[in-house]
Amino acid sequence: MVGTLDRERTYEAWLVLRWQNGDVDAFEKLVARFERPLFYYLMRLVQDEPSAWDVLQEVWLEVFRKLKKLKEPAAFRVWLYRVAHDRAVTRVRREVRREETDEVDVRPGEEFEVFEDAEQVHACLNRLRPAHREVLTLYFLEGMGYEEIAEVVGAGVGTVKSRLHYAKKEVRRLIEESGGHA
């Protein structure tokens, strides 16, 4: 078994060297050799078939661009899986952030209480991130609903609700921090 693994690693290193010397066929052989096991690996990480295919394509594009710079052809397998890991982790993190942003919901009846001092609220608005400032302005000053705001800012309704939630929380914090004098 050890002899077989050694031969496989040697063959992979040989294919890498051939690719680095301009043999396009060698790259195709590497793809054919690793596509299925790499896809299986990616499926375990991203847990979604379309995403796994997308990540796999990103991996092969990166490998295509950077393989000529790989200094140790024998390290190809580990390097390949590291590229796959990094791409998959990036995808998963992006999806988690998207879900967190889309899933925050404002509870019914949890509306922003009217502050007595409009000047104070405007001062706080100026200290918010632009995306939060924008949704608060559209919601309270323009009287727009979630769907309208989503259309204006080019985001989903869940994202709008999330931004409103965090913007309201930040305004409250800023007012409390200032002792009522923003």
pLDDT of 41-68, one tens digit each?
A: 888 888 889 999 999 999 999 999 999 9
- How would residue 94 be classed by pLDDT, with cut points 50, 70 and 90? confident
Give the per-residue pLDDT at 62. 95
Q: Which tens digit of pLDDT belongs to each residue from 116-175?
A: 556 777 677 778 887 787 778 778 766 778 888 887 777 888 998 998 999 888 888 888
The Cα–Cα gap between 103 and 101 comes to: 6
Second CATH level (architecture) for the domain 2-103: Orthogonal Bundle (1.10)
CATH numeric code, 118-177: 1.10.10.10
Angle between helices 157-177 and 146-153 (to 10 degrees): 100
Greater model confidence, 85 or 119: 85
pTM of the model: 0.55
Measure Cα distances from 125 to 72, 110, 134, 157 in Å. Answer: 55, 20, 9, 21
The Cα–Cα gap between 63 and 18 comes to: 14
In the chain, where are the structural domains located? 2-103, 118-177
Structure tokens at 62: 């990166």
Give the per-residue pLDDT at 1. 59
- How would residue 32 be classed by pLDDT, with cut points 50, 70 and 90? very high
Report residue 118 CA to chain centroid gap.
37
Q: Where do we find the tokens 């896809």?
A: 39
The Cα–Cα gap between 76 and 70 comes to: 8
